[in-house]
Structure 1
Amino acid sequence: MNGVGAIGASMGTVQQIMQMRAELIERSATLRELHRAQPVSPQGAPGIVGAPGAVQPAGASFAATLEAALDGVNATQTRSNQVTEAYERGEVTDIASVMLARQEAGVAFEATLQVRNKLLNAYQEIMRMGV
């Protein structure tokens, strides 16, 4: 095999890779701009129970913490519904943002469901304890 031919072929491949890299960087910048444009709730990332902004001050009751987490999940699902309806009306053409909102709402709901299951198991365990 000719070494020069192999180098020439790899240069074409390198140019293709560099072009794909530039496209990915451009797409990434566009996604970052879209992410910055989306409103974020004052509690940090909506629907995420462990979000840094969702930390309750010391002395906050468990009920208040749980209520704040559920409000975040509700906000995430409401936003998902709004984006989905806007897509159905033709106002939003970016299917990626619609799917991302739906997945975010799904993950938030699943996390809430897991927390509920753990709380229910803890309650049942406490009820089985002897006095």
Structure 2
Amino acid sequence: MKIVIDSKAINNDLSNFGGVKAQREKSFSQVLKDALESVNTYQNEYETALYRHLFMDDVDLHDVVIAGEKARLSLELTLQIRNKAMEAYQEIMRMQI
């Protein structure tokens, strides 16, 4: 049994993949902005769920806890990204030219 590799098909697929990738790429600042907006959304969802559980009693406690954990984890991830960015900046500033 012989296996034949069609290099033209592979190159076409790779070039198409690269074109799609370039169209979908976002800038680093846009990715950070989207991440911060999602953190804010999770925080607001948690506050709403907590309020509704305490005063309207139409949200279960486990839903409040899940919303709180989502908010906590997203904030923790944001802080870790900030810390890594600060470490990278400080390392660049320590470099000698």
Q: Which residue of 1 aligns with 2:61?
A: 95
Say which structure is richer in helix. Answer: 2
Aligned equivalents of 1:92 and 1:121: distance in 2?
45
**Ranges of 4+ aligned residues in structure 1 off by more than 6 Å:** none
SS of residue matched to 1:92: coil
Secondary structure at the counterpart of residue 65 of structure 1: helix
Matching residue's letter, 1:66: L
Question: 1:81 aligned to 2:50?
Answer: no
User: What RMSD over aligned residues (CA atoms) do the two structures have, in Å?
Assistant: 1.5
For each residue in 1:77-107, what CA deviation from the matched residue of structure 2 results, as whole angstroms up to 9, or x when unmatched?
1111111111111332410001110011111
Match for residue 72 of structure 1? 38
Give identity over the alignment, percent. 37
CA deviations over 1:49-99 (Å, ceiling 9, x no partner): xxxxxxx922x2111111011111110111111111111113324100011
Counterpart of 1:111 in structure 2 is 77
Aligned length: 75
Partner SS state of residue 24, structure 2:
coil
Unaligned runs of 5+ in 1: 1-55
- Structure 2: gaps spanning 5 or more residues: 1-22
In structure 2, which of residues 14, 24, 33 is the aligned counterpart of residue 57 of structure 1?
A: 24
| SS of corresponding position for 1:130 | coil
Normalising to structure 1: TM-score of the pair? 0.54
Q: Report the alpha carbon displacement of residue 123 of structure 1 after superposing the two structures with TM.
A: 0.6
Task: Between the two structures, name the one with larger relative contact order (CA 8 Å, sep ≥ 6).
Answer: 2
Mapped to 1, the partners of 2:92 and 2:70 lie a distance apart of 33
